Chain A
Amino acid sequence: MSEQQPSSERRPTGISGLDRILEGGFLVSGVYIVQGPPGAGKTILANQTCFYHAATGGQAVYVTLLAESHSRMFAHLRRMAFFNESAIPDRVYYLGGYSALEAGGLEALVTLIRGAIQKHRATLLVVDGLISAQESSPTEREFKKFLHEIQTVAELTGCTVLLLTNAERASGFFPEHTMVDGVLHLTDELSELRPLRHIRVLKLRGSAPIRGLHSLRITDQGLEVWPRFETRLPQDVVDEAKVASGPKLPFGVRELDEMLRGGVRPASITMLLGSSGSGKTLLGMQFLSEGVRREERVLYFGFYERPESILAKCQRVGIGGLKEGVKRGLAQIIWHRPVEGVIDELGESLIVTLRRDRPQRVFLDGMEGFERAADFPERMSHVYSAIAQEVEQLGLTAIYSTETRELFAQTIEVPIHGLSAATQNIILLRHVEHRAVMRRVLAILKVRDDDYDAAMREIRITNSGIRLLDTFAGESGVVSGGGNSRAARREQPEA
């Protein structure tokens, strides 16, 4: 583009995540390259943008250069919700440009494009198959001249131009990239048999785009883009100190609430750490159930067990009120299948719900679910930090469960980094072998800035709720899986 600052007015794509990455959309008079392998979603992105542009009062022209026939493209697009046949040809106009290119080279193509923009008063132009123009230009210089002419037309008419290409250059250097306002790169790869689509902004003039890879999905609605979740900035900051000075939130389990000196502090984050089957989910549900009993709004957000089966299980063990809570709009249960999700979509779903509904109690069941949906494991600590930050800023009280891999080991690994740093309280749940009987044990490992009872208790799940028992009074080594009475230890020979 020319050196002078173009108008900062933007043309949104209508793909909300992409508009966020682009800080509002494409620039008026901007020229952009959208590149990626076949099937990565370039054509869908461009068509979706055209129809959104048309629906919001713009005029779009779509020029194909031997990419695929219009019939074939329409047959594919017809399945997409955004495709609106009634906008064609008045607001979205399709042209074939290859014949002109064949007959008269790049010059004829520029003439065609210029004519089409003028005739249809186009405010958005797509050239699909830039590689054809590149291949038919005798020299690199000719091709640059072509791009320059396109820029001039865009500049004069205010038209935004998207150039689609699957160009893969052996040199890795794309001189055309230096000439345009932005380059979007779409990828479609497999990771352990799971398809992963991403979009990445390689360059964007006049903006500070959200850099890095962003998740992308193609559905019947068209393209969906999730900006990397951890880049989302917290909003609506509440005065945490003020919230934290409010009354504590009890679990509704008398013994546990006594151990916690009344419950957990408001606006705190508590980790329920334990092995599989140790009672984490039920204890979390108990926390929510107590909230409903107190007419508070509560949220369950989980990945593994289906909501119906969790509610049925709660009912069986006397953790009541949740079903009614759902009916009354106090309790909300959100369940995602971790394997098929995109981590950014899961995160977005959580954050949107937290911001909208401001539940007083939140239970995130099985944080590993986020990890399963992660495209790159190294992102996890950032993702968890972002969740923690959001919960803190909104002044919500959250409990999350996370699994320890070891059932009986002496050491206990706290698996989640980034979130554990923001965790004020840790409650450990695990199985122990005690006098030839398997028991579930609960211990409070940490409560920030507060007094607590550090004793270990047996946790019993009865059909009238959760009870804590003093089974291990006077013994040590229970949490680490040993469990010796003092008398037994005295009998052991010195090492």
Chain B
Amino acid sequence: MWYPAAATPVPLAVSSLRRNVVPSKQSILIVDDEFGLAEMLREMLRDLGFEVTLAINGRLALEILDEGKVDLVLTDMMMPVMDGAELARAMRSDHKHRGTPIIMMTSLPTAVPQPTGLFDAVLRKPFTPDLLLKTMLSCLPSGNAGTPQRTPS
């Protein structure tokens, strides 16, 4: 779910961030069952130069993970079939995905387990595009050639 914070209108934030993105693409998997929100997030991240795939539950996310390279997973908590915590546990117990960073997005921070090894970060909804990018960059392995780099504006 996506609420642009009043202080950071989306168009401005996106246009200011777009300049900072390098061409080499990293792959992000968004796992969210809420229609519209995941799509909007996908467009946003594509604009920033990421490659983005969507899954509407944890099980579909695991299938996508098995198919190819995913650099970071952005997941909702409550979903049908397999929820965010189950997905994270499955990834952590699979050597292929153990090292893939997972960011959990939630609108109920008190109701959701805090990252104790399961998640690399928790993003409280609503969040700003800036905070999202900052959190993603902090979770992506540093020094990676494909990492979007901030350039002086």
Contact = CB atoms under 8 A, between A and B. Distances in A.
Contacts of A98: 34-36
B113 to A, nearest CB: 10
Interface string B85-129: 000000000000000000000011011100000000000011000
B77 A89 contact: yes
A96 B111 contact: no
A99 B83 CA distance: 15
Nearest to A99: B56
Interface in B22-68: 32-38, 56
A86 B111 contact: yes
A74 interface: yes
A71 B125 contact: yes
Contacts of B112: 89
A4 to B, nearest CB: 30
Contacts of A85: 108, 110-111
Interface string A74-95: 1100000000011111000111
Contacts of A467: none
B32 A96 contact: yes
Contacts of B38: 99
A229 B125 CA distance: 44
A231 to B, nearest CB: 40
B35 A71 contact: no
A50 to B, nearest CB: 13
Contact of A96 (B35, B107, B126): B35
Interface residues of B, number: 23
Interface residues of A, number: 27
A95 B33 contact: yes
Contacts of A112: 80-81
Given A95-B80, A100-B80, A70 B35 contact: no
Given A93-B78, A95-B79, A69 B34 contact: yes
B83 to A, nearest CB: 7
Contacts of B125: 71
Nearest to B109: A85
A66 interface: yes
Contacts of B126: 71
Nearest to A101: B35
B35 A86 contact: no
A71 B1 contact: yes
Contacts of A119: 80-81
Contacts of B32: 96
B1 A72 contact: yes
A99 B110 contact: no
Interface string A40-71: 00000000000000000000000010100111
Question: A66, A75, A88, A99: which has the most chain B beta carbons within 10 Å?
Answer: A99
Contacts of A70: 1, 34, 78, 107
Contacts of A72: 1
Contact of B111 (A66, A89, A100, A103): A89
A93 B108 CA distance: 12
A258 interface: no
Contact of B107 (A74, A97, A99): A74
A158 B141 CA distance: 49
B110 A94 contact: no
A94 B33 CA distance: 10
A322 interface: no
A125 to B, nearest CB: 12
Contact of A74 (B33, B37, B83, B108): B108
A212 interface: no
Contacts of B33: 95-97, 99-100
Nearest to A116: B80
Interface in A103-139: 103, 112, 115-116, 119
A357 interface: no
27 contacts: A66-B35, A69-B37, A70-B34, A70-B78, A71-B1, A71-B3, A71-B125, A74-B107, A85-B110, A86-B110, A87-B111, A88-B108, A89-B77, A89-B78, A89-B111, A89-B112, A95-B33, A95-B80, A99-B33, A99-B34, A99-B56, A100-B56, A100-B80, A103-B56, A115-B80, A115-B81, A116-B80
Q: Top 10 closest A-B pairs, CB basis?
A: A98-B35, A96-B34, A96-B33, A71-B107, A71-B1, A88-B111, A99-B56, A69-B1, A99-B35, A112-B80
Given A69-B37, A85-B111, 11 more contacts: A66-B36, A69-B1, A70-B1, A89-B77, A89-B83, A93-B78, A98-B35, A99-B38, A112-B80, A115-B81, A119-B81
